[in-house]
């Protein structure tokens, strides 16, 4: 491991810029390395010109500056100090500082200035530690909207010394020091930096010599992806070498880094190798940090590893343990992955409930909306989550974008739930719609208002707008026609206005925008009947009524709803054959509700099914609900017939058979 000797106020680089050159290089050495590997690097790499950097040194009070090769933490011939002693003497040469203590100190600092001050107190520093310090500085200064390091960092003599030492002779650096320094610079430096080019050239040389270990290959691969097109042939060589390594020698961090590399260039992925990694990863999951867990799940999504459900399930098991420790971004990535793979788990839901209920007011709006999307997609009826999010929205509605607002409100309608603060919630929503109506994308707005109607919070004040030709034209956009789902939502909203809002006197929905059936391919407005449950009920109905003639199945009404089973009664309450269309006094609508019409693992009916039954009742039907959990309790055919008799012909119904 090379040792880097640091001095205070050694040099000042007047033209030190991130988007130019980072340090002075020994031109002869750089040109030699570049000549050796020129033919093998990507074309973009060699289209860049190296320009000389002017370096000015302040010689006053400077000490001798040198680098040495070596792999030991302590220089040869010098005693190693105990950890306790090292902590007491941390202001002295790093030969007195244990490596773990060094990195612990490094990670405890909260600013680059603290890191630089600490480094300036050390006389000699192994290149791996110097690279770690450089990486820590760049990491702390990284900002999404700024690609330059602050001027005070660039002009700091200790920082300049760090960079200059890596530029002087990269061939003397250890593999770890070399790739860690490169990794640090990729956070800020553009490919025109001389220092970056020098380090890349040395990495390329070692790569072709096959002298890079697994960890170095992984870091180099990620650096290349950040700096250039993942299609570069150099990356091919890295992936090829990694495929030849024994997976048992990979650390958990290396495995996740390998996933990230493959994620960046899925077209290069060998499926057999990926399957091998998935199987091996089962053994490393217990050792993954929250960050690595989220990164592995994200990579599995990008690589479309739907066949790796065993790995996803194990990841989910360990995600539960880390819920309180995820950052907002990491938790969002976990939820996105679980949505993608269709994963749900009772323990994960419970942990998520505790997390959201305790921290909802401090969670990022994107995370809050993603939590609601997860509950909505998986039909998870969680009162703690729904109540916490409703309270958050009332208190902090200004934080949420129009799309996030819709993602938060829609699950209440879908899951058929009114929170305790429903009046405040929908009053706040109404105020937002009044002031920001035009900011909502048309389809998002339609879904939002339709969801409100599912829980009887009818958007009467906005119906005139959404039934207007102007809004319908916006909804259609550049397409030649409106999609079926939007038409179905418009039709159901219009039916809601007629049945539940008789005081509405605004414009009506034109017939050309109305559908004939609410059964859409995505089952958004009606859930198809559970066939196995229907077969069981049909057997009981035949025994009860005497013949199949006395009931009809899958009846499409004039009001767009499809009734599972319809039974017609005359004025005296006698059952009529389903073929009869005269003397019908009452129609009985049997809603044979299978598990898919309820929230997950609950007896709570979904909003669309509750709305259907409510509307059928208002249309004059006698609605009889036959839920699956009641049928499952019956032990014999006789019990089934008795159950149906009680449901259809109770003393109050007036029916006969």
- The neighbouring-strand residues paired with 522 are none
3-class SS at 564?
A: strand
196 pLDDT higher than 70: yes
Answer yes or no: is pLDDT of 25 > 50.
Answer: no
Helix (H, G, I), strand (E, B) or coil at 516: coil
Averaged pLDDT score across all residues of the chain = 83
Asked if 529 and 552 touch (Cβ cutoff 8 Å), the reply is no
Confidence check: pLDDT of 500 > 50: yes
> For 238-294, what is each residue's pLDDT tens digit?
999 999 999 999 999 999 999 999 999 888 888 999 999 999 999 999 999 999 999
Reduce the DSSP state of residue 511 to 3 states and report it: helix
Give the pLDDT confidence score for residue 97 in this predicted structure: 53
Alpha-carbon separation of residue 646 from 270, 569, 631, 640, 649 (angstroms): 62, 16, 13, 10, 6
Give the separation between CA 166 and CA 347, rounded to whole angstroms.
49
Query: Which three-class secondary structure state does DSSP give residue 3?
Result: strand
**Greater pLDDT, 201 or 52:** 201
The conformation of residue 550, written as its DSSP 8-state character, comes to G
> Please, are residues 257 and 291 in contact by the beta-carbon 8 Å criterion?
no
Residue 143 has what pLDDT? 65
Question: Is 618 within 8 Å of 499 (Cβ atoms)?
Answer: yes
Compute the distance between CA of residue 295 and CA of residue 289 in angstroms, rounded to an integer: 10
- Residues, the chain, total? 657
SS3 614: helix
Could you give the C-alpha distances from 274 to 57, 70, 281, in angstroms and in order?
A: 52, 37, 10
Which two structure tokens, joined as six digits, stand for 536?
A: 């069981």
Q: Which of 173, 259, 166 shows the shortest CA–CA distance to 212?
A: 173
pLDDT tens column, 593-621: 999 999 999 999 999 999 999 999 999 99
In this prediction, residue 198 carries a pLDDT of 87
Token digits for 133?
Answer: 């310090």
Confidence of residue 72 (pLDDT cuts 50, 70, 90): very low
pLDDT digits (tens, 9 = 90+) for 397-454: 999 999 999 999 999 999 999 999 999 999 999 999 999 999 999 999 999 999 999 9
pTM of the model: 0.79
What span, in angstroms and rounded, lies between the C-alpha atoms of 294 and 302? Answer: 13
d(CA 206, CA 632): 68
Q: Rounded distance, CA 72 to CA 2, Å?
A: 9
Are 112 and 137 in contact by the 8 Å Cβ rule? The answer is yes
How do residues 329-386 score in pLDDT, each as one tens digit? 999 999 999 999 999 999 999 999 999 999 988 899 999 999 999 999 999 999 999 9
pLDDT of amino acid 2: 52
Tokens of 178: 């070399």
Say which DSSP state 56 is in: E
Percent of the chain topping pLDDT 90: 60
Residue 535 per-residue DSSP state: H
The predicted pLDDT at position 456 comes to 95
Does 12 score more than 70 pLDDT?
Answer: no
Q: Are strands 552-556 and 562-569 parallel, antiparallel or unpaired?
A: antiparallel
CA 643 to chain centre: 46
Listing DSSP states for 253-268 in one string gives HHHHHHHHHHHH-GGG
Do the beta carbons of residue 345 and residue 307 sit within 8 Å? Answer: no
CA 209, 214, 219: angle at the middle one, nearest 5?
Answer: 95
> What is the percent of the chain where pLDDT is above 70?
82
Q: Is the pLDDT of residue 88 over 60?
A: no
Angle between helices 112-120 and 157-168 (to 10 degrees): 70
In the chain, where are the structural domains located? 1-211, 228-322, 330-513, 531-648
Helices 290-302 and 309-322: angle between axes, nearest 10 degrees: 150
H/E/C letters for each residue in 410-460?
HHHHHCCCCCCCHHHHHHHHHHHHHHHHHHCCHHHHHHHHHHHHHCCCCCH
CA 591 distance to own-chain centroid: 37
């Amino acid at each position: 491991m090379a040792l880097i000797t640091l001095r205070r106020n050694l040099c000042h680089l007047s033209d030190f810029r991130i988007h130019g050159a980072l340090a002075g290089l020994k031109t002869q050495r750089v040109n030699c390395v570049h000549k050796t590997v020129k033919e093998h690097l990507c074309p973009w790499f060699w289209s860049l010109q190296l320009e000389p950097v002017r370096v000015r040194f302040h010689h006053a009070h400077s000490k001798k500056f040198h680098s040495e090769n070596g792999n030991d933490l302590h220089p040869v011939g010098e005693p190693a100090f105990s950890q306790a002693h090292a902590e007491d003497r941390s202001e002295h040469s790093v030969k007195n500082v244990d490596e773990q203590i060094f990195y612990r100190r490094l990670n405890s600092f909260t600013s680059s200035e603290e890191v630089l001050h600490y480094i300036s107190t050390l006389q000699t520093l192994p290149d791996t530690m110097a690279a770690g310090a450089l990486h820590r500085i760049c990491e702390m200064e990284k900002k999404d909207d700024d690609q330059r390091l602050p001027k005070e960092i660039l002009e700091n003599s200790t920082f300049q010394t760090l960079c200059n030492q890596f530029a002087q002779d990269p061939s003397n650096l250890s593999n770890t020091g070399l790739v860690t320094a490169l990794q640090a610079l990729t956070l800020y430096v553009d490919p025109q930096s001389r220092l970056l080019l020098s380090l890349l050239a040395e990495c390329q040389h070692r790569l072709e010599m096959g002298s890079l270990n697994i960890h170095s290959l992984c870091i180099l691969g990620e650096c290349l992806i950040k700096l250039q097109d993942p299609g570069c042939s150099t990356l091919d060589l890295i992936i090829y070498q990694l495929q030849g390594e024994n997976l048992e020698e990979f650390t958990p961090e290396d495995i996740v880094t390998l996933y990230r590399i493959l994620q960046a260039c899925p077209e290069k992925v060998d499926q057999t190798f990926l399957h091998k990694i998935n199987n091996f990863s089962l053994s490393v999951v217990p050792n993954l940090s929250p960050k690595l867990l989220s990164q592995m799940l994200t990579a599995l999504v990008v690589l479309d590893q739907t066949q790796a459900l065993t790995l996803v399930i194990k990841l989910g098991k360990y995600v539960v343990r880390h819920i309180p420790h995820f950052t907002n971004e990491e938790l969002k990535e976990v939820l996105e992955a679980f949505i993608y793979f269709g994963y749900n788990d009772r323990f994960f839901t419970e942990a998520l409930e505790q997390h959201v209920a305790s921290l909802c007011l401090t969670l990022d709006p994107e995370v809050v909306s993603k939590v609601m999307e997860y509950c909505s997609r998986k039909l998870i009826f969680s009162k703690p989550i729904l109540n916490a999010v409703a309270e958050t929205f009332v208190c902090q509605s200004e934080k949420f974008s129009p799309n996030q607002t819709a993602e938060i409100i829609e699950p209440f309608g879908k899951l058929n739930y009114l929170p305790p603060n429903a009046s405040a919630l929908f009053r706040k929503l109404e105020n937002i719609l009044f002031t920001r109506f035009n900011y909502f994308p048309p389809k998002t707005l339609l879904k939002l208002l339709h969801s409100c109607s599912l829980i009887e919070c009818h958007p009467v004040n906005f119906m005139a707008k959404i039934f207007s030709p102007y809004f319908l034209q916006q909804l259609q956009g550049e397409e030649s026609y409106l999609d079926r789902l939007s038409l179905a939502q418009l039709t159901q909203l219009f039916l809601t206005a007629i049945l539940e809002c008789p005081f509405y006197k605004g414009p009506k929905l034109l017939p050309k925008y109305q559908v004939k059936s609410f059964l859409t391919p995505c089952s958004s407005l009606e859930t198809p009947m559970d066939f196995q449950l229907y077969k069981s009920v049909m057997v009981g109905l035949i025994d009860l009524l005497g013949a199949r003639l006395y009931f009809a199945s899958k009846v499409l009404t004039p009001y767009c709803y499809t009734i599972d089973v319809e039974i017609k009664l005359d004025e005296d309450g006698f059952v009529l054959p389903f073929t009869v269309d005269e003397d019908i006094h009452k129609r009985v609508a049997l809603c044979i509700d299978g598990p898919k019409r309820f929230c997950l693992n609950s007896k709570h009916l979904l909003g669309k099914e509750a709305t259907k039954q409510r509307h059928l009742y208002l249309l004059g039907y006698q609605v009889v609900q036959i839920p699956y959990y009641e049928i499952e309790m019956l032990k014999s055919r006789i019990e089934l017939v008795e159950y149906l008799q009680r449901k259809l012909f109770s003393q109050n119904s007036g029916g006969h058979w």
